[in-house]
Amino acid sequence: MKEQITATLAALAENNMQPYYCATKAEALAQVKALLKPGQSIGLGGSESLKQTGVLELVARPEYRLQNRYAPGLTRAQALDVMRQSFLADVFICSANAITQQGELYNVDGNGNRVSAMIFGPKSVIVVAGVNKIVPDLSAAVQRVKAVAAPQNAKRLGCQTPCAKTGQCLALQQGKTGLCSGCSAPQRICSSYTVLGWQQQKGRIKVILCGEELGY
């Protein structure tokens, strides 16, 4: 795994992203804090990794202006408004579904707010991910989402989808190889597929790679 981590960090840097390696969740949290400034507005992408590292508690502190999609009592419409406000945030914090050893960030979204903000809008993007997200290439990234990330997240969210019940994408069960192949369930969470490679704005995307497993 050490070789894979080293290769991934180097490739991210070659793609004009700023990589950081933190051995533990505590170190990853400290690195996120070091990248933030008091008074900044902060948007969030849905992420178990942010919960597991304590990032959600950190950004909820009064010194930051959190655009809190998790605020109690929000209606669906209000939550969507918060997500839209995140496009103008100083900092957007999220995770990734997979990170290739070629320095690419692969993500699949339902609403699309996370991938949209990663691509354009917020002045700075911080990606927090565990080493379990590292894959050799994009083909493996697609496979990881269909076999691990999407089923686990659909189950976590209580979605009525085939993958939430069986633990893998319907496309894998049917032998279909198309990128967007899968179910047609109304609560399907796989809608927008993105690959972030070389970045024009050097250092806008910071990737904090944690030596522990995080999220799905």
pLDDT band at 26; cut points 50, 70, 90: very high
Residue 177, pLDDT score: 85
* pLDDT at residue 171, rounded to an integer: 94
The pLDDT of residue 88: 94
Domains and CATH numbers, the chain: 2-136+190-210 (3.40.50.10420)
Quick one: average pLDDT of 68-84? 90
Pull the structure tokens for residue 15.
């793609």
Residue 179, pLDDT score: 85
- Cβ pair 39, 65 in contact under 8 A: yes
Residue 1 has pLDDT above 90, yes or no: no
β 134-135/98-100 pair status: parallel
What was the pLDDT predicted at 69? 85
> With the C-alpha atoms ordered 13, 16, 22, 23, is the resulting torsion angle positive or negative?
negative
Integer-rounded Cα Rg, in Å, for the chain is 17
Predicted structure pTM score? 0.95
Question: Could you give the residue ranges of the DSSP H alpha helices within 36-137?
Answer: 48-53, 55-59, 76-85, 113-119
What are the strands, taking DSSP E only, across 63-189?
Answer: 65-66, 91-94, 98-100, 105-109, 124-130, 134-135
Predicted confidence band of residue 214 (pLDDT cuts 50, 70, 90): very high
- Is residue 97 within 8 A of residue 107, CB to CB? The reply is yes
- Cα separation, 119 vs 87, in Å, equals 10
Contact 32, 126 (CB under 8 A): yes
